[in-house]
Structure 1
Amino acid sequence: MSGHGFHVHGPHDHEIEHVAQHGSDDFASRIAVMTAIMATVGALFGYEGGATQNDAAMFKNNAAIKKTEASNQWNFYQSKSNKQNLAELALVIPGTDTEKYKADVARYKAEKEEIKKKAEELEAESHHWEDASENALHQHHRWAQAMTAVQIAISLAAITLLTKKKWLQFTSYGVAGIGVVLASLAWLHI
């Protein structure tokens, strides 16, 4: 630009003047706003998907710990069974203190019952954590499906901007709606 009346427009300057004189592109503005909203919603879905995946892993870890503890109890139970068997065998050996071994047999039986009860409780806890892990993993899959639908909707919105096709705009909104439905199912643990 010169101060002597000679004025040169660049392509960008021409577009800015055109928008200022004739208004903005409402179609592109609506798509841009919806894309921003879908990206925000998608980020929330992604966060929830990650959180449920972490929960599933932690629950699975708890199940493994309880299963190991139960296994330890069953090994302890087996050890007591072996000692009981040896005490019962000692009862039939001539010249042994049978009263002592009868007391040992009774003690081992009582100890085994406690150990068995504890092992069964630990197995039940392990099953509980396994179920919780499976439920969290199912919920994670729902969040991931919702996030995928929103990502597809955002891609369709970008194509809509390029092609200016109204039907593609509604398709994008429909796919985003499917994502919201999937997220609702995840939220409700369905």
Structure 2
Amino acid sequence: MSGAGFHVHGPHDHELEHAAQGHDSAGHGGGGMIAQIAVVTAIIATVGALFSYMGGATQANAGLYKNTAAIKKTEAANQWNFFQAKSTKQSLAEFARDLAPDDKKAGYQSKIERYEKEKSDIKLAAEKLESEATTWDKSSDEQMHQHHRWAQATTVLQVSIALAAIALLTRKRWLEYGMFALAGVGLILGILALLHI
């Protein structure tokens, strides 16, 4: 309450003044710790947001690559079905050639040779598509592994931020050290993700 030049401080005002001067309720300096934790927490949160973004991006890439692999596998299966159809036609042409009169055998033989060449081209296309599908599958698996690394790094940084909040409330130095240690682990995991390890 203030009057004409007269001001009475309540207990709450006294604590606020001490906090502003960097003293805790026991009279110890704590402003440096508070400022340090606040700045480090902001940095950790920013790095964590970047890691989270990278985790989402790698997860999206993994899904895209897996879909591309599935498309390539379907295309390869279609080619193998086409190959099988040509094989059936070739077998029928061979059967017809064997049963046909001599003057018609040459016509069936040319069909057999055409089917054989077409089958060879189809087989190459199918094998190429299967190889591409395998490559896309491998890329998807690599992206998922990287996603897990980014997720691990983000989670550890979030726990570090939680420790920072507890350290601010309790003014316990060991919690502050724990926050720094976890932040370091999170950064190492992020570097591993960046290096695809």
If the length of structure 2 is used for normalisation, what is the TM-score? 0.89
- Asked if residue 90 in structure 1 is aligned to residue 100 in structure 2, the reply is no
User: Which structure ranks higher in relative contact order (CA pairs < 8 Å, sequence separation ≥ 6)?
Assistant: 1
Residue 148 of structure 2: aligned partner: 141
Following TM superposition, the consecutive aligned residue runs of length 4 or more in structure 1 with deviations greater than 2 angstroms are: 1-20
Residue 123 of structure 1: aligned partner: 130
Flag the 1:48–1:129 CA change in 2: closer, same or farther, 3 A: same
CA deviations over 1:81-121 (Å, ceiling 9, x no partner)? 00000000101214371111000000000000000000000
| Partner Cα separation in structure 1 for residue 147 and residue 138 of structure 2 | 14
| Partner Cα separation in structure 2 for residue 167 and residue 3 of structure 1 | 46
Flag the 1:145–1:29 CA change in 2: closer, same or farther, 3 A: same
How far 1:33 moved relative to its partner?
1.2
**Equivalent residue in structure 2 for 1:53, among 41, 47, 59:** 59
- Asked if residue 170 in structure 1 is aligned to residue 182 in structure 2, the reply is no
Residue 46 of structure 2: aligned partner: 40
Question: RMSD across aligned C-alpha pairs, in angstroms?
Answer: 1.8
SS across alignment from 2:65: helix
How far 1:30 moved relative to its partner?
1.1
Q: Residue 37 of structure 2 aligns to which amino acid in structure 1?
A: I
CA deviations over 1:121-163 (Å, ceiling 9, x no partner)? 0000000000000001100000001001101111111111121
Residue 7 of structure 1: aligned partner: 7
Map residues 156-167 of structure 1 onto 2, 5 A cutoff.
Answer: 156-167=163-174
How far 1:74 moved relative to its partner?
0.4
| Partner Cα separation in structure 1 for residue 3 and residue 166 of structure 2 | 44
Q: Residue 136 of structure 2 aligns to which amino acid in structure 1?
A: W
How far 1:58 moved relative to its partner?
0.6
| Partner Cα separation in structure 2 for residue 169 and residue 145 of structure 1 | 21
How far 1:5 moved relative to its partner?
3.2
Q: How many percent identity over aligned positions?
A: 57
* 5+ residue gaps, structure 2: 24-30
CA deviations over 1:8-64 (Å, ceiling 9, x no partner)? 4466654554456x3572211111111111111100000000010011011101101
Q: Residue 67 of structure 1 aligns to which amino acid in structure 2?
A: K
Flag the 1:70–1:153 CA change in 2: closer, same or farther, 3 A: same
Q: Residue 51 of structure 1 aligns to which amino acid in structure 2?
A: A
- Asked if residue 29 in structure 1 is aligned to residue 38 in structure 2, the reply is no
**Equivalent residue in structure 1 for 2:158, among 151, 170, 174:** 151
* 5+ residue gaps, structure 1: none
> How many aligned residue pairs are there?
189
| Partner Cα separation in structure 2 for residue 43 and residue 182 of structure 1 | 14
Once the two structures are overlaid, the 10-residue window that deviates more, 7-16 or 176-185, is 7-16
If the length of structure 1 is used for normalisation, what is the TM-score? 0.92
Once the two structures are overlaid, the 10-residue window that deviates more, 103-112 or 87-96, is 87-96
**Equivalent residue in structure 1 for 2:85, among 79, 84, 88:** 79
